[in-house]
Structure 1
Amino acid sequence: MTTRYYTPRGGLPAQTELTTDRSVFTEAYAVLPRRTMSDITTSRLPFWDDTRLWVLARPLTGFSETFSQYIVEVGPGGGSNRPETDPAAESVLFVVDGELRLHLAGADHALRAGSYVFLSPAEQWTLHNDSSETATFHWIRKRYAAVDGIDAPESFVTHEDDVEIGMMPDTDDAWGTQRFADPDDVRHDMHVNIVTFEPGGAIPFPETHVMEHGLYVLEGKAVYLLNKDWVEVQEGDFMWLRAFCPQACYAGGPGRFRYLLYKDVHRHAPLTL
């Protein structure tokens, strides 16, 4: 099956369109529908040329506190020789459109839609768009929670095509996850995976757990349980879940429902603020 990833293009809604939408921010979750990714909600970053981004998530005291997530759009000739200004930050880059050149550990890597990069804290890297078309990627950042006696994981580059889907048991292959980092490797304190549901696939119970989540819908549509509310979501929407927010979903079809999932893992709960 052909893989595709929804990519926002900016612009502005017409003056004739309705103002009401599915945007919601509650004490337990937030939903940013794809229409919120307009020209007037973009930001810029220091040391990035011909680049704009949509900020989907940022740490907020009392809400989701561990990560930030951007959709970054790099124009032809754009990019950065100094992309990260926080040496404590680790990152995942996931390309959804176009081509980019990553320079990492003395080597160049040609990135395309489906490319996945994990960047260890304090890693030296650059990213540029040498093509004639705009390129777009997701950038998930987290302050690495170092543990004495455990080294930080190494940076790596891979592609979705090279990562097997692990199917959940007793689901008739209707629900699976592509895990880009070894789920048993405690050096990693975050996982960024792709979750796939075939039409009719479901999370059949309200998951309720300590992990914060960011979910960006890459493809398809579903009905998602967020706390006490069933919310319709579609490709291009972003969901932001606080720790312990109950969640479940039902993929209604007609095609696959897929999302890029962030969660924090493998660390003690901090006992001081």
Structure 2
Amino acid sequence: MSDTLPRPEDVAAAKQHPAAQTRTLVSTDYAVIAPDGHVVAPLVGWNHTSGVVLISPSMGSAPRQPRFTQTLVQLTDKSTTTSAAPGVQRFVYVLSGKVRINGQDLTTDGYAWLPPDVPHDLQGVEPGSLLVFEQPYSPLPGTPAPDAVFGQALAQPAEPFMGDQHARLAHLLPDETDARFDFAVNRFTFDPGTPLPFVETHHNEHGLYLQHGQGVYRLGSGPTETWSPITAGDSIWMAAYCPQWFVATGDTPATYLYSKNVNRDPR
């Protein structure tokens, strides 16, 4: 058995191997997680359920690390769960299939926000997939957390973003209109060729999931800047103050779901 290092031509050949290719990248201020790298495993706290933890605090190190988790859940008709970790709020979005939460049935594009420390009964009804956000809840002194929220994304008004009819934003939670919420999830749709109007830089961090279509995301600046092609099924983490910009490409609208922290002192 030889103990010599591989030849340079062997390394060059390995870099071209189809199994070595991925669009996934992880930086200190952002990450793009493509389905080609998903490793499906059982999910902690869920029964008869597997999935992929797309974003979590273990992705980075303080202070530049996610403060939430974003999980792609593979739903079965036997899936069950009763609560998130103590002090953690949970948002469930149905990508496909059917789920029953506290007796209410949710199908594709249905969603629920579930308050912290209140057990809930979630049961899979029809196989499919869920997008689940979880984040520690920051209470307001003397103010109880909101009750559970149930909705249907397509029933929420999609308003032109900054006056652009080709970029439509729907708020799935009250976010800025109700200070009891410290967390928001929005659904953003761009017609082909439509961009964000400028490169955003702000104190909010995001977890994003591209539900439909395709586009290009500019992330970071200087040595960390990247222009990432993304397509349906991709996820992105953006840290606070990470420069970010998007343009939809292709022939059909691009739609993504994204979370952000709201209504609390960012310090």
Pairwise TM-score range, normalised by the shorter structure: 0.7 to 0.9
Which residue of structure 1 lines up, in the alignment, with residue 47 of structure 2? Answer: 49
Query: Partner residue of 2:6?
Result: none
1:118 aligns with 2:120: no
1:41-68 deviation digits (Å, cap 9, x = unpaired): 1232345222001001112423233211
Q: Are 1:48 and 1:83, in contact at CA under 8 Å, matched by a contact in 2?
A: no
Equivalent in the alignment of 1:58: 56
Determine the C-alpha separation between the residues in 2 that align with 1:151 and 1:95: 27
Q: TM-score, normalised by structure 2?
A: 0.86
Partner residue of 1:147?
Answer: 140
Contact 2:75 2:97 in 1 (8 A): no
The correspondence for 2:231, drawn from 216, 231, 234, is 234
Q: Name the SS of the counterpart of 1:251 in structure 2.
A: strand
* Displaced runs of 4 or more, over 3 A: none
Distance 1:255 1:67 in 2: 31
Counterpart residue type for residue 20 of structure 1 = Q
118, 127, 137: which one pairs with 2:122? 127
In structure 2, distance between residues paired with 1:204 and 1:169: 8
Q: CA deviation at 1:97?
A: 0.8
CA contact (8 A) 2:55 2:71 kept: yes
1:204 Cα offset (Å): 2.4
The structural deviation recorded for 1:245 is: 0.4
Q: Which residue of 2 aligns with 1:10?
A: none
Q: Contact 2:190–2:248 (CA<8 Å) still a contact in 1?
A: yes
Deviations 1:166-217 (A, max 9, x none): 111332x111111012232111101111111011111121100011111110
C-alpha distance in 1 between matches for 2:88 and 2:261 = 14
Name the structure 2 match of 1:24.
Answer: 25
3-state DSSP of counterpart to 1:203: coil
Q: 1:119 to 1:214 in 2, by over 3 A?
A: same
Verify the 8 A CA contact 2:80 2:123 in the aligned structure 1. Answer: yes
Structure 2 unaligned spans of 5+: 1-16
Equivalent positions of 1:72-91 (< 5 A) are 72-80=73-81, 82-84=82-84, 86-91=85-90
Pairs within 5 Å for 1:256-267: 256-267=253-264
The answer to whether the 8 Å contact 1:64/1:212 transfers is no
**Closer, same or farther: CA 88–250 of 1 in aligned 2, 3 Å:** same
* Match of residue 211 from structure 2: 218
CA RMSD of aligned residues (A): 1.6
Higher-Rg member (1/2): 2
CA distance in 1, matches of 2:110, 2:194: 26
Change (3 A) 1:94 1:211: same
Distance in structure 1 (CA, Å) of the matches to 2:78 and 2:28: 41
Amino acid at match of 1:95: V
Provide closer, same or farther for how the CA distance between residues 161 and 170 of structure 1 changes in structure 2, counting only shifts above 3 A: closer
Query: Which runs of no fewer than 5 residues in structure 1 stay unpaired?
Result: 1-15
Q: Flag the 1:76–1:218 CA change in 2: closer, same or farther, 3 A.
A: same
Instruction: Tell whether the 8 Å contact from 2:30 to 2:237 is kept in structure 1 after alignment.
Output: yes
- TM-score relative to the length of structure 1: 0.84
Distance 1:219 1:130 in 2: 24
Percentage of pairs with the same residue: 26
Q: Does 1:35 align with 2:30?
A: no
